[in-house]
Amino acid sequence: MPGKISDPWLGFLWELPRPTGDVDFIEIRPSNAGGELLQIAGEGSEFARTHRLYFHRVTVAEYPEAYASRLIDLTPKGFKRLRLRAFEVHDLVLAKLGRNSARDRADVEFLVGKGVIDKHVLEERFEAELRPYVLNEARHTDSLRLWLDAFFGANP
């Protein structure tokens, strides 16, 4: 059951100190396995109560067109029927752009501070893989410019 996931991996991959209790996913294969996953490990499930972690299906999301080619495999050794993959860091940042919440901005600021975000990669990927496909191009463009100014300032 391969899946594409994000957020909790900010802590796992980049040591984000803010805990999160949900694993967002955008795709599960086979597609009918999503309902089963949510029954077993969705919000309010026994799994969620035991592990203080639950799975959540993201139904509206905007992310770079070629994200799948850059997914990071997080599958623990020994797993044979489950594959866990997370967005590459620039794709994760761009996926947060549309919502542009205070928490999203804090996550981006943290990642920039860790030195894992390349401003030019972010700009290039936005222009080539996200901007042409978003519903509100002006809002996304403005948000990206604000983020770049706030978190990179005059730095190249």
> Among residues 56, 67, 147, 38, which one has the least CA distance to residue 99?
147
**Residue 96: domain span:** 2-152
Q: How many CB atoms lie within 10 A of CB 55?
A: 21
From CA 23, how far away is CA 7, in angstroms rounded? 6
Residue 75: per-residue pLDDT: 85
pLDDT for res 82: 79
Cβ neighbours of 94 (radius 10 Å)? 25
Q: Check residue 21 and give its pLDDT.
A: 77
pLDDT value, residue 132: 96
The confidence band for 19, taking pLDDT boundaries of 50, 70 and 90, is low
Quick one: residue 31, left, alpha or beta (phi over 0 = left, psi -120 to 50 = alpha)?
Answer: alpha
Convert the pLDDT of each residue in 118-153 to its tens digit. 999 999 999 999 999 999 999 999 999 999 999 998
Evaluated on CA atoms 118, 144, 103, 38, the torsion sign reads negative
Number of domains in the chain: 1
pLDDT tens per residue, range 68-125: 999 999 888 888 887 888 899 999 999 999 999 998 899 899 899 989 999 999 999 9
DSSP 75: P
- Mean of all residue pLDDT scores within the chain: 86
User: What's the residue count for the chain?
Assistant: 156
Matching residue, tokens 């997914």: 71
Residue % of the chain over a pLDDT of 70: 85
